[in-house]
């Protein structure tokens, strides 16, 4: 059985400002680095074999802080990137309403579809799991990407709570379906 520890990156200034990040490469802020340090202390006493990360700096820096304490090199995979949010990247909800009206979410603004995200997410997690059978792998990525992928991988689990920054969710590749033994845990913070 392969175990995946899915981690949402630490907080950024845009998270604090409720700005859509998407593919914009926004770094962790100081609080995000502190969150990653606290998470790394928790991870430091657990057994993990590999760390994969999105290539966006907020996820990569979170992964590298963890990798340093575990002495594990971080491998990047661009498929772990956040959803592409097109023209709404960098905007707040109010700015979107001001620019495109209350129905902005019905417009074609170049936003990656949920189906595209889930296809990319499921394929990436499956590939990583198959590459490392019976091992423990940390994957550092992004809230929307992980949330949408998880809803399709483990629809039998209640996921009404959005993934928090620097949270960890544990999946096991059991048969006949994926199993979630821990969801959105932030006790280390």
Catalytic residues: 9, 82
Q: How far apart are CA 99 and CA 90, in angstroms?
A: 13
Q: How far is CA 50 from CA 66, 131, 137, 161, 171, in A?
A: 11, 11, 5, 27, 15
Q: Which DSSP string do the residues of 94-143 spell out, in sequence order? A: HHHHHHH-TTGGGS--SPPPHHHHHHHHHHHHHHHHHHSTT-EEEEEE-H
Tokens of 189: 């913070």
């Amino acid at each position: 059985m392969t175990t995946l520890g899915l981690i949402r990156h630490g907080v950024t200034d845009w998270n604090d400002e409720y700005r859509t990040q998407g593919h914009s490469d926004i770094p962790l802020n100081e609080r995000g680095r502190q969150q990653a340090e606290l998470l790394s202390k928790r991870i430091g006493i657990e057994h993990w074999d590999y760390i994969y990360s999105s290539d966006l700096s907020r996820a990569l820096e979170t992964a590298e802080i963890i990798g340093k304490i575990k002495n594990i090199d971080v491998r990047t995979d661009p498929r772990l990137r956040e959803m592409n949010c097109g023209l709404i990247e960098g905007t707040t909800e109010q700015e979107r309403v001001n620019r495109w009206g209350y129905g902005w979410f019905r417009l074609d603004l170049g936003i990656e579809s949920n189906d595209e995200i889930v296809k990319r997410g499921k394929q990436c997690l499956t590939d990583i799991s198959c590459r490392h059978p019976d091992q423990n792998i940390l994957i550092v990525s992004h809230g929307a990407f992980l949330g949408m992928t998880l809803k399709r991988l483990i629809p039998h689990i209640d996921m009404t709570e959005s993934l928090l920054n620097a949270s960890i969710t544990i999946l096991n590749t059991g048969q006949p379906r994926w199993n979630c033994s821990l969801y959105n845990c932030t006790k280390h913070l």
